[in-house]
Amino acid sequence: MSQTLMTTQPGEAGNFTRFDLNRVPSPCFVVDASAIEANLACLADVAERSGAHVLSALKAFSMFELAPMVRRYLSGVCASGIFEARLGREEYGGELATYCAGYKAQDMDEIVVLSDHIIFNSPAQWQRFAPQVRAKAAELGKQVEIGLRLNPEHSEGEVPKYDPCAPCSRLGWPLSQLTADMLDGIDGIHMHTLCEQGFEPLERTWRAAEAKLAPYLAQLKWVNLGGGHHISRADYDREGLIAFVQDLRQRHDVELYLEPGEAVALNAGILVGEVLDLPHNGVDLAIMDISATCHMPDVIEAPYRPDIMGENETGAHRYRLGGPSCLAGDVIGDYAFDQPLALGDRLAFLDQAHYSMVKTNTFNGVPLPAIALWDPRDDSLKLVREFGYQDFKERLS
C-alpha cells in the first residue's frame, strides 16, 4: 500500500493471547475488563497524587456496561454534545463537563440540567447563550461553571486533521486574540492539543502558552488540559505529569482537569473477525467480515494500519486484508503470517476498544460487530450486545 500511514503506538495482545476467538460471534469487539480496571487504577493513582480531576472522555470509549467501574476510579466524564452528556449523567454520574464546537439553542436548557461545566468554543458562543444558561441555572438552583476553549497556537500533532492547533483550526479561540473582556463570566479555560502522546508535548505546550495566559490565570478557578494523554502507557512519564500538575495548582491556585479517553481503554480490546474469501489479484487477498470503513474508520481516515494478533512480519504468507463492502478502498492493510490463511479462520485486530467501537456505522448494510466483555481473572465472558437488521433499518427513513 503506497499511502503514508500515521505513526501509532503498537497494540499489545496482553491477556488475549489465551482467549479463544471462537467463543464469540463474528465480527465482535471483545473488551478485557481487567485491562480496563488496570488503566483506571493507573489514572486514579495520578489523580490522587497530583490532585487533578481526571474525567473519562466518552468520545473515545463509552461502553457504559463498565460505567460502574469507571465511577469507582475517576471523578466523572466529559461529553462532546447533548447525547454524550445524557449518557454521562444517566450511566456514569460524578462530574460532567460538556464541550461542543457549536451548541444549538434548543439543546442548551438540557445541557445546563446535565452538566457541571459547560465549555464554549468561542467568546461569541458564550455571549449568545449566557442569558439562557444563567436563567436555566437560576431556575434549577444550581451552579454551572463556564469554560472557554483556547487554541494555544502551538502544534504537537503529527497529522493536521488530528491537530487542534493546525493552521485555520476551528477548535478553540486563538490565544493571541484573547482579551480580558472575553473572560467575563468565565470560570476556567480548556486546552486540548494532543493525540496519543506522552507528557513531554504537554509540557512544551504549556511552556509556550503560560506567559500569554499569565495575566488571566488569577481570575480562573480551573484549567482543563483536555485529552490525548497516553497516561496508562508503560513508558508515559507519570511522575513528570504529577509534578507538573502539582506545580500548576500551587503557583496559579487553580484546579486542574485531565480528560483521557484512549488511556482508559488502551490495549484493552480486540476486534474479532472471520476470513470469508481468499482471492488473488496481483497479491493474495483476504476478504473479511470486518470492514475498515464500517468498523475501524480511522484506518482510512488517519490513515493507519492496526496491529493484528499472531502476525509475523517476516512470515512467508502475505495477504492484503479487506472488508466486505463495495468501497474499493475498504482495505485494512497488508499482513504476513507463518501459515496460510483458510476460510473461516478467526483473526483479531489489537487495541480496538477505543474510538473504533464508537465510530462504527452500517454503510452498505454491513452488520455491526457484537460487543463482549471478558474477564481473564475468572475467564467469564458476557455477550453484552448483538446487533441485527433493525439496528440498520432504524437509522434510515
> Looking at the structure, do residues 307 and 335 belong to the same domain, yes or no?
yes
Can you give the residue range of the structural domain that contains 362? 14-31+268-393
> Looking at the structure, do residues 130 and 238 belong to the same domain, yes or no?
yes
Say yes or no to pLDDT of 99 above 60: yes
CA dist 321 → 17, 56, 275 (Å): 21, 33, 9
- For residues 270 and 66, give the distance between their C-alpha atoms in angstroms, rounded to a whole number: 16
- Say how many CA atoms lie within 13 Å of 152 toward its Cβ: 29
Q: Domains in the chain: how many in total?
A: 2
> Looking at the structure, do residues 150 and 20 belong to the same domain, yes or no?
no
Choosing from 265, 289, 306, the residue where a domain stops is 265
Choosing from 265, 297, 313, the residue where a domain stops is 265
**Average pLDDT value for residue range 342-359:** 97
CA 203 to chain centre: 21
The domain spanning residue 126 has which CATH number?
Answer: 3.20.20.10
**Average pLDDT value for residue range 379-392:** 98
Length of the chain equals: 397
Residue 346 within a domain? yes
Say yes or no to pLDDT of 325 above 80: yes
**Average pLDDT value for residue range 200-226:** 96
Choosing from 215, 250, 265, the residue where a domain stops is 265
Residue 1 within a domain? no
**Average pLDDT value for residue range 116-121:** 98
Say yes or no to pLDDT of 193 above 90: yes
> Looking at the structure, do residues 305 and 327 belong to the same domain, yes or no?
yes
Average pLDDT, rounded, for the chain: 96
288-324: b (≥16 Cβ within 10 Å) or e: bbbbbbbbbbbbbebbbbbbbbbeeeeeeeebbbbbb
> Looking at the structure, do residues 225 and 325 belong to the same domain, yes or no?
no
pLDDT-above-70 percentage for the chain: 99
Report the pLDDT value the prediction gives residue 161, as an integer from 0 to 100: 86
Q: Tell me the pLDDT tens digit for each residue of 247-284.
A: 999 999 999 999 999 999 999 999 999 999 999 999 99
- For residues 31 and 90, give the distance between their C-alpha atoms in angstroms, rounded to a whole number: 22
> Looking at the structure, do residues 145 and 126 belong to the same domain, yes or no?
yes
Report the pLDDT value the prediction gives residue 3, as an integer from 0 to 100: 61
Report the pLDDT value the prediction gives residue 1, as an integer from 0 to 100: 45
Residue 294 near residue 326, CB atoms below 8 Å: no
**Average pLDDT value for residue range 99-111:** 98
User: 342 pLDDT band (50/70/90 cuts)?
Assistant: very high
Residue 319 within a domain? yes
Q: Tell me the pLDDT tens digit for each residue of 20-65.
A: 999 999 999 999 999 999 999 999 999 999 999 999 999 999 999 9
DSSP string spanning 260-319?
A: -SHHHHTT-EEEEEEEEE--EESEEEEEES--HHHH-THHHHTT----BTT--TT-SEEE
> Looking at the structure, do residues 247 and 295 belong to the same domain, yes or no?
no
pLDDT-above-90 percentage for the chain: 95
> Looking at the structure, do residues 63 and 210 belong to the same domain, yes or no?
yes
Say yes or no to pLDDT of 5 above 80: no
Say yes or no to pLDDT of 147 above 50: yes
Q: How do 28-32 and 269-277 pair as beta strands?
A: antiparallel
> Looking at the structure, do residues 338 and 200 belong to the same domain, yes or no?
no
**Average pLDDT value for residue range 117-136:** 98
Say yes or no to pLDDT of 2 above 80: no
More confident residue, 5 or 169: 169
**Average pLDDT value for residue range 218-230:** 97
Say yes or no to pLDDT of 324 above 60: yes
Residue 41 within a domain? no
Coil, strand or helix at 70: helix
CA 2 to chain centre: 27
Q: To the nearest 10°, the Cα dihedral for 311, 313, 314, 318?
A: 70
Report the pLDDT value the prediction gives residue 10, as an integer from 0 to 100: 73
Q: Tell me the pLDDT tens digit for each residue of 276-312.
A: 999 999 999 999 999 999 999 999 999 999 999 999 9
Residue 108 within a domain? yes
Partners of 188 in the β-ladder:
147, 222
